Structure 1
Amino acid sequence: MNIKKQCILSPITGIVQNIYNIKNTVISQKKIIIHSNKKIIVSPCNGKIKNYSSKKIEFLIQSEYGAKILIKNKLFKKKHQKYTVVSMNKEFVSTCTGKILFVIHNANSNNEPIHILTTIKITCKKEISDPKKKLYKTQAGLTILAYI
């Protein structure tokens, strides 16, 4: 029997800091931390957005194949730097892989970069496996973070 593995892609372009694998008898978990200066956040998989907070730019996606993906973004900015978060998905019910969910717009004229710390937590009853090659740099919607 050939079972097709589903993949979870990176929601943001950046550099991987840490990858944690937590294996339990019932639930598998994976936590990935990515540092970035990019401004676009995309959907890592097909599914439904269950929880959404525009101020914290965090959301929970229930994927089609039973995994829950929690994405938290923390913005680090300079003292007088202003930014706005533009939501590209108006209905916030269902999403597909690679769909742009948020764009962070810098309101200052000097266009200084905003540093973003993204934490991705994947929880699933099935086994979560790593891609074959080690991850250092990721590209939003292209780099595979995990297989389920």
Structure 2
Amino acid sequence: MNKKRYILSPITGIIQKIFDIKNPIINQKKIIIHSKKKIIVSPCNGKIKNYYPKKIKFIIQSEYGAQILIKNTLFKKKNQKYTYIPINKESINTYAGKILFLINSTSLHDQSIYLQTTVNITCKKKINNLKKKSHKTQAGITALAFI
């Protein structure tokens, strides 16, 4: 009996689109989430392969063979300043729900930072959807897909 392995949402927000990328050898899924939250967590247990704190981007190799790329695009006002706070500096092992980034606005009065998070899942096994588009997600709690 195979055990389902879940991939959780890395950020609290609303799912905009879910794409199935056609490839006969490797299964791929792309999920786009919009958010105004500032905490980004790990979507599964595994090892961080590439970690780009300045670009708010990382690749996780999960324990069960899936490779997950989390890429964040930051939308802000013209003169608004912000800081990235990478939480996971030394450890390359991670677990589902572990905080990887915090984003802070340096202005006390203006907290309007907007993120578009793209989750690319690549795996040799079949990737199944749990959520449809236009659903709310909670970081580290809501399952996006399972393998």
Structure 1-normalised TM-score?
Answer: 0.95
| Structure 2 residues not aligned, in runs of 5+ | none
Separation in 1, partners of 2:72, 2:91: 17
In structure 2, the partner of 1:55 is 54
Is the CA contact 2:50–2:58 (under 8 Å) kept in the aligned structure 1?
yes
Match of 1:117 in 2: 116
- Give the structure 2 partner of residue 79 of structure 1: 78
Contact in 1 for aligned 2:18/2:132 (Cα 8 Å): no
CA distance in 1, matches of 2:52, 2:3: 33
Letter in 2 for 1:134: K
Q: How many angstroms apart in 2 are the aligned matches of 1:8 and 1:77? A: 28
Question: What is the match of residue 144 of structure 1?
Answer: 143
Aligned length: 146
The CA deviation string for residues 57-101 of structure 1, in whole angstroms up to 9 with x for no partner, is 000000000000000001000011110010111214110000000
User: Distance in 2 between the 1:75 and 1:66 partners?
Assistant: 29
- Give the match for residue 18 of structure 2: 19
Could you tell me how far 1:17 is from its partner in structure 2?
Answer: 0.7
Structure 1 stretches of 4+ moved >6 Å = none
1:124-135 matches, within 5 Å, as: 124-131=123-130, 134-135=132-133
Residue segments in structure 1 that go unaligned for 5+ positions in a row: none
The percent of aligned pairs where both chains have the same amino acid is 64
RMSD after superposition: 1.1
Opposite residue 80 of structure 1, the aligned amino acid is: N
